[in-house]
Amino acid sequence: MAEVKTLASELTKEIGNNGSFVRQQNRFTTPFGDGPGELPVEAGRYRILWAAICPWAHRSIIVRRLLGLEEVISVGTASPIRTEHGWEFSLDKGGVDPVLGIRYLPEIYKETDPTYEGRATVPTVVDVTTRQVVNNDYFRLTNYWETVWSTYHKPGAPDLYPEQLRQEIDELNDVLFHEVNNGVYKAGFARSQEAYEAAYDVLFARLDQLEERLANQRYLFGNAITDSDIRLYVTLVRFDAAYYSAFRTNRNRLVDFPNLSAYARDLYQTPGFGDTTDFDAIKKGYHLGQIANNPYRLLPKGPDLSFWNTPHGRETL
C-alpha cells in the first residue's frame, strides 16, 4: 500500500515564500519519437492513467478520442475523489487497475523510481511491457499524440497542431497554462491573501481578453479546432461547477461571458469533448476530495447542466 500523505502536506512543498502556489515540475519527461533515447511509438505498448476530474488528464483523453488513438493507447481511470493514498482505482473490479494490478497510482511511481518523493499525478503514461512510468509531462503529451503518433491517426483526423501555426499555438498555450489552466489553481491553493488576489486578477484579465478574441472567430485560431482550444476548454468546462466556488474565482461565472460560454458550449457539443466530460466526477473531485475544504462533505446540487446543450450560434463565425 502507498505511504499515507495528505494533499495538504504534499502541497506544502509547492508553496512559495509569499504563499503562492508553485506547481511541481514533471519527473518523467522523455519524449515519444524515433530518435535516440526517445520512447518508441508502438500500438498497444502504453497505458494512460487518468481521473476525470483532472483538466491536464482530460485534454489528453480528448485528443486521444479526436485522433482515433483509442485502440492504440489503453486507458485506466482512477476515482475522481483523491484519497490520502493518492489516486485510487476503486472504479475497477477488485479496486485495482485491471492491466497493472495497482490500487493506488503512487505504487507504480515507487515501482519505477523508489526514490521519487513528489506527487503521483495524472495523466501518467506507463509502458505496460516494462511496468515503468515513462511520461507524466502533461504540458507536452497532447503534442506527442498530435505529431509523432500520426501513423495511428484515424482517417480524416483533425490537424490539431498544424505546422504553420505551431509557434503561435505554443506561445498561446504558455499563456493559457500560467494564467488560466494553472491560474485557477494558483488562486485556489494560495496561502496568502496577496497571492490569491494576484492570481485572481491575472486570471480574469486574461479571460476578458479571450472573451474579446472570440467575439468574431469561432475558435482561438479561426475556423478550425487546435490544441489550444482543447487546453482552454478543460478549464472553462470546470469553471462554474468547481473553480467558481471551490477555488474562489468568483468575479464572474462562465455563463456571464457571452462569447466564452458560447464557445465552450460549441466545443462541448463537438464529439470528443462533451462525451469525455464527466460533471459528476468533476463535482465530486473538487468538492468531496482532498482538494476541498468541506468537512460535512456536502455535494453542490448545481449548476444547471442543461446550459451545455443549449444552442451556441457560432457556426456562422
Cα–Cα dist 56/34, whole Å: 25
Give the DSSP letter string of 48-89: EEEETT-HHHHHHHHHHHHHT-TTTSEEEEE-SS-BTTBSB-
Neighbours of 3 (CB within 10 A): 11
State the residue for C-alpha cell 446550459.
307
CA distance 263 to 266: 5
Which of 5-19, 201-215, 273-287 is predicted least confidently? 5-19
pLDDT digits (tens, 9 = 90+) for 9-55: 566 677 777 888 777 788 899 999 999 999 999 999 999 999 999 99
Within the chain, how many helices (H) and strands (E) appear?
Answer: 11, 4
User: Annotated catalytic sites, by residue?
Assistant: 54, 185
Note the pLDDT tens digit of each residue in 248-267.
999 999 999 999 999 999 99
Global pTM?
0.95
What span, in angstroms and rounded, lies between the C-alpha atoms of 48 and 108? 12
Q: For residue 2, what pLDDT band results from cuts at 50, 70 and 90? A: very low
Least confident among 18-27, 134-143, 209-218: 18-27
Q: Is 45 helix (H, G, I), strand (E, B) or coil?
A: coil
